[in-house]
Amino acid sequence: MTHLDGLYLITPDTTDAPCILAERVAQAISGGARLVQYRHKGPDRRLRHEQATAVRSVCRLAGVPFIVNDDVALAGEIGADGVHLGRDDGDPIAARRHLGDDAIIGVSCYDNLALAKAAEQAGASYVAFGSFFPSATKPHAVRASVKLLSTARDSLRIPAVAIGGITPQNGGLLIAAGARMLAVVTGVFAQPDLAAAARAYASLFVDGDPR
């Protein structure tokens, strides 16, 4: 079973050439990213397939798990390690049936512990809560309380991921509260040095455990 902890990198919604996006992801991995999610909401399925395939190759070379946002079919087509499901993206049970027993299945649970418990019961590998802080990626996202992470840590057997406006300055608070992973988009990809940006988050963890 994949050990889930540390910096969780989510790619930005971009039309970058697949090789460029893959190189940017490689830089972030060199700084300490421990899980990569490919996320692209655009309609160009060919671009999505090519970008995801390129990023998957970089992740595989580095030994970092790679999952796809929302699209179970794409994840299966390119041999991803799993999928992340939002509110309207399908059932974790069906996703696991499609991708296999060893697949990483993540589920967005926003600010709702009941959703997280249901996701765990359905076989999710991890649950994600947030947004904890204002987010440029999802400015209108539901806001979750830090206390939710503590409650989840005490209530769930699977890891909790924190997402939404997380910086190296506020991330330690979330880890201390119970987040096993910090999911980041612009905190890494909007920075001039992606490896250094990733390293700033990874330094909040020591050997997968919070300081």
pLDDT in tens, 148-172: 999 999 999 999 999 999 999 999 9
Residues of the domain holding 121: 6-210
Residue 138 known to be catalytic: yes
Query: Which pLDDT belongs to residue 210?
Result: 42
pLDDT above 90: percentage of residues in the chain: 88
1 within a domain of the structure (yes/no): no
Number of domains in the chain: 1
115 within a domain of the structure (yes/no): yes
Q: Out of 24, 56, 96, 108, pick the active-site residue.
A: 108
Query: Which pLDDT belongs to residue 14?
Result: 96
Query: Which pLDDT belongs to residue 50?
Result: 98
Q: Out of 24, 34, 39, 199, pick the active-site residue.
A: 39
Report the pLDDT averaged over residues 173-202.
Answer: 98
Q: Out of 60, 117, 138, 153, pick the active-site residue.
A: 138
| Whole-number Å distance between alpha carbons of 52 and 178 | 30
45 within a domain of the structure (yes/no): yes
CATH number, domain at 196?
3.20.20.70
Task: Specify whether the CB–CB gap between 33 and 202 falls below 8 A.
Answer: yes
| Whole-number Å distance between alpha carbons of 36 and 96 | 18
Of 79-83, 142-146, 180-184, which range is least confident? 142-146
Query: Which pLDDT belongs to residue 158?
Result: 98
> Computed over its alpha carbons, how large is the radius of gyration of the chain?
16
138 within a domain of the structure (yes/no): yes
pTM reported for the whole predicted model: 0.94
Residue 147 known to be catalytic: no
Residue 39 known to be catalytic: yes
